[in-house]
A and B are shown apart, each in its own frame.
Chain A
Amino acid sequence: MNYPLWSIPSLGGSWAVGLISVIHVFISHFAVGGGIFFAVTEYLALKRSESNDLTLRHNSEMLYAYLRKHSKFFMMVTTVAGAVTGVGIWFSISLVSPDGTASLIQTYSLGWATEYLFFVAEIATVLVYFYTWDKVSKELHLALAQWYAVLSVFTLIIINGILSFMLTPGGWIESKAWYEGFFNPTYWPSLILRLLVMLAIAGMYSLITSARLKASESEDVANFRAYMLKYSSKWFIPVFLIGPIVGFWFFSQVPQAVITNIFTGIQSSGVGNFSILARAIYLSLILSGTVLIFALVGPYLNPRGFSFGSAVAFLVCGLGVTSMSEWSREMLRKPYVIYNYMYSNGIRKADLETINKDSFAAFSKWEDPDNIGTSMFRQQCMICHTTDGYRSMKKLLGERDLEGIKTFLLMMRETDPEKNSYLNIMPPLVGTDKEVEALADYLVTLKPVKLGV
């Protein structure tokens, strides 16, 4: 525990990170999927422009005009909103979970540096791509689109290694060899799954700009609008066909304890921590399924009836699916930030015994000796809990008195799953008896005071 922590009352740090991250994921997936979308669609436009068929040549002209408009939207969304939220993630995770962030940077310094280089090249390329419409040959412009697609896919190839490492570090736990952590058990299914989702998200954004085309202008525009909506909806086909298979592959690679957690959630009451993971997965599956049917009955089967409002509603559903899927992925790691290595509160699994023997104070540079209980709460609990907001301690403590809280905390210190049923979702509590008592003394002050007669 080498760093101070950011306290966000009521909302909690994890929500701050989560909200920023979800928006970023939705945009960054568009940045990659959109890159492929431009490369493929511009290729189609070029091929059709070379055709002898007049209808195809006309379609090519309209495709070019559409791509030009869409690229402005693409550039603005991915460079401005994408960059702002990307920096926002770094800003928030380094304050909310500094030890976890430090660990990821230390393990993958070269990976992050390479990711940054690809990102800069990607931004530069999209700017060149947009500002060279009609200024370079069609072939060169298409090459720019293809180059952008390659660069953006490479950003995925790198970040996917680090993200999947956090859930399944694989052989890295023993060897500490970066490539074993990078090419971990969920690397490939996760990479394919993300690519498929990115293509669908590209289609989703394209539905927005296609639905903006004014069908009332002329029959020609109305026809092209319908064509583009149908074309955009086809970008859902890969995830629809291959997604479930890769999903099974992904789940076959996650640790057995995670699968057990999911089934515990399915069999529990739907309230409480044990069911959160299962609930998040349900919602992710339900929303994914309905999004695909939506794409079928909306833009694919009835493109002329698909309004801009429908496209926005569709985008909101897409954001919902992305949020729930990313949330589920984060929850799968519980109670770790790097599975089986570092707990979500930044304490290394290997340090448990030492901390319990020496004291948490000796381990934490930011413990306030005058307020040990508060420090213990801030350093060990606050990553997931707030005092009276999200996962409120006040609420979770319920009717427990000081003794009840102490008993509960002592149980939380156990590292044997038979004695501590929370181990699969919460890190064990660490510290000496005195520190645990200090935490209990602090927690009891959170309970509402009952006025006697």
Chain B
Amino acid sequence: MLGEISETTFKWLDERLSLSAVASAAGKKKVPLHKQSFWYYMGGIAMLLLAVQFLTGILLMVYYIPELSSANSSVLFINSQIDFGWFVRSMHSWGANILIFVLFAHMFSAYFMKAYRKPRELTWISGLGLLMLCFGFGFTGYLLPWDEVAFFATKIGIDIAEQVPLIGVILANLLRGGLEVGQGTLSRFFLLHVIVLPLGLFAIAGIHLLLVQLHGMSEPKSFQAQAPEKKKYEMFFPDFFMKDLMVWLLAFNVLATIVILFPWGVGPEADPFAAAPAGIKPEWYFLGMFQFLKLLPAHISFIEGEKVGLLIFALIGGIFAAAPFIDKGENPKLSMFFDMYGLMILIGLIAFTIWGYLA
């Protein structure tokens, strides 16, 4: 009886959604098995954490008020008055941080495994786009509780954005919504955080996932070099998928443990007229860049130091993003250069972040 019902339901859906075709495609998809297979799970973890962000974000919006006099107290209300409110908020805040960490891991693993090479150039670019969007989520979301640290960190962040050559002033004004960080900024950041960025994320994540399905998992050079009979694969469905589920559970456990042992608090309400507290720092993922900018003198020749810093970031990031168009796998020296280049960026990022944290 039950079998008949499920068969009929599947048939009904299949005729409309071509489920058999999808199932057949999934049944053919293979995942290479090698020593670096572990990194394949990063994308899945990122997807899980994104789902957590969306779900908890929707729940937070039920009580959050994007208005200067109520923003901080509404977050405090969520944290202290709503049953499980602190849990949902902590999941959102910790989840965001862990997501960015996982995206970094995903990006660098893809980079060092040369997963950006033909035909995956667009997968690489869309992945970088997703990371940028998540930075945007982090930057805009940080201000929403309207607490002291967030207020001043945002102020500094927008001041830095103002230094971007040519479009800096326009960009800063657009973000700030006035001369000072205030209601205009909060409204815009809220809008960006809950509407604009999610729409962008859906679009780019859709393209990214579609491309991953289209090209399949990339194979590292060491694997490609193996004799065909020595290469091992596993089926994506159900073998890899089941493993993916296990990794998701582990990731969820890590998140839940951190959330419960270290719940996310709320700082004192921002006072725009108060002096900035000592030691204001941005979120950890901006800390490396922030520390680098701090080291630059006010002026380098006739250009402002921060402008030079931003140009350096643009140059470094540009070459990093352009890797698939330069390192096509035809020139071993170029390939080695990009390996070293990525390694330098990774070491630099870690070193400057630790330095910034300790400074």
Contacts and interface: CB of A to CB of B under 8 A. Distances in A.
B242 interface: yes
Nearest to B266: A269
Contacts of A305: 234, 239-240, 242-243
A450 to B, nearest CB: 16
B234 A270 contact: no
Contacts of A136: none
A290 interface: yes
Interface in B271-296: none
Contact of A294 (B84, B87, B234, B246): B246
B249 interface: yes
A290 B239 contact: no
B257 A270 contact: no
A271 B260 contact: no
Contact of A283 (B83, B238, B257): B257
Contacts of B245: 293, 297
A266 B84 contact: yes
Given A293-B249, A298-B242, 11 more contacts: A267-B83, A268-B86, A269-B80, A269-B263, A279-B263, A286-B253, A287-B257, A290-B249, A290-B252, A305-B239, A317-B253
Nearest to A298: B246
Contact of A297 (B84, B242, B252): B242
A290 B250 CA distance: 8
Interface residues of A, number: 26
Given A282-B87, A287-B256, A294 B249 contact: yes
A68 interface: no
| Interface bin, chain B | 20 to 34
A310 interface: yes
B265 interface: yes
Interface in B213-252: 234, 238-240, 242-243, 245-246, 249-250, 252
Contacts of B252: 286, 290
A301 interface: yes
A270 B87 contact: yes
Contacts of B240: 305
A294 B245 CA distance: 8
Interface string B74-114: 00000111011011001000000000000000000000000
A304 interface: yes
Contacts of A287: 253, 256-257
Listed from nearest, the 10 A-B pairs whose CB atoms lie closest are: A270-B86, A270-B263, A302-B242, A269-B80, A297-B245, A283-B260, A290-B249, A286-B256, A279-B260, A305-B239
Contacts of A317: 250, 253
23 contacts: A266-B83, A270-B86, A270-B263, A271-B265, A275-B86, A282-B260, A286-B253, A286-B256, A290-B253, A294-B246, A294-B249, A294-B250, A297-B245, A297-B246, A297-B249, A298-B243, A298-B246, A305-B242, A305-B243, A310-B243, A313-B246, A313-B250, A320-B253
B56 to A, nearest CB: 14
B115 to A, nearest CB: 22
Contacts of A269: 79-80, 86, 263
A267 to B, nearest CB: 6
Contacts of B250: 294, 313, 317
B287 to A, nearest CB: 25
Nearest to A272: B263
Contacts of A271: 86, 263, 265
Contacts of B84: 266
Nearest to B252: A290
Contacts of B253: 286-287, 290, 317, 320
Nearest to B263: A270
A283 B256 contact: yes
Interface in A265-315: 266-271, 275, 279-280, 282-283, 286-287, 290, 293-294, 297-298, 301-302, 304-305, 310, 313
A304 B87 CA distance: 37
A302 B243 CA distance: 8
Given A283-B257, A286-B256, A305-B239, A310 B246 contact: yes
Contacts of B80: 268-269
B238 A302 contact: yes
B257 A320 contact: yes
A275 B87 CA distance: 11
Contacts of B249: 290, 293-294, 297
Contacts of B86: 268-271, 275
A283 B253 CA distance: 9
B90 A270 contact: yes
Interface string A236-249: 00000000000000
Contacts of B238: 301-302
Contacts of A286: 252-253, 256, 260
Nearest to B90: A270
B100 to A, nearest CB: 22
Contacts of B256: 282-283, 286-287, 290
A270 B79 contact: yes
Contacts of B239: 302, 304-305
B319 to A, nearest CB: 36
A144 B257 CA distance: 41
A282 B260 CA distance: 8
Contacts of A268: 80, 86
Nearest to B79: A269
Nearest to A279: B260
A301 B242 CA distance: 8
Contacts of A302: 238-239, 242-243
A281 to B, nearest CB: 10
A106 B261 CA distance: 36
B95 to A, nearest CB: 14
A272 to B, nearest CB: 10
**Residue among B240, B257, B260 facing the most chain A CB atoms (10 A cut-off):** B260
Contacts of A313: 246, 250
Contacts of B260: 279-280, 282-283, 286
A417 B187 CA distance: 45
A276 B80 CA distance: 14
Contacts of A282: 87, 256, 260
Contacts of A297: 242, 245-246, 249
Nearest to B256: A286
A122 B250 CA distance: 35
A132 B245 CA distance: 42
B63 to A, nearest CB: 14
A12 to B, nearest CB: 16
A305 to B, nearest CB: 5
A302 B241 CA distance: 10
A304 B239 CA distance: 8
A22 B79 CA distance: 31
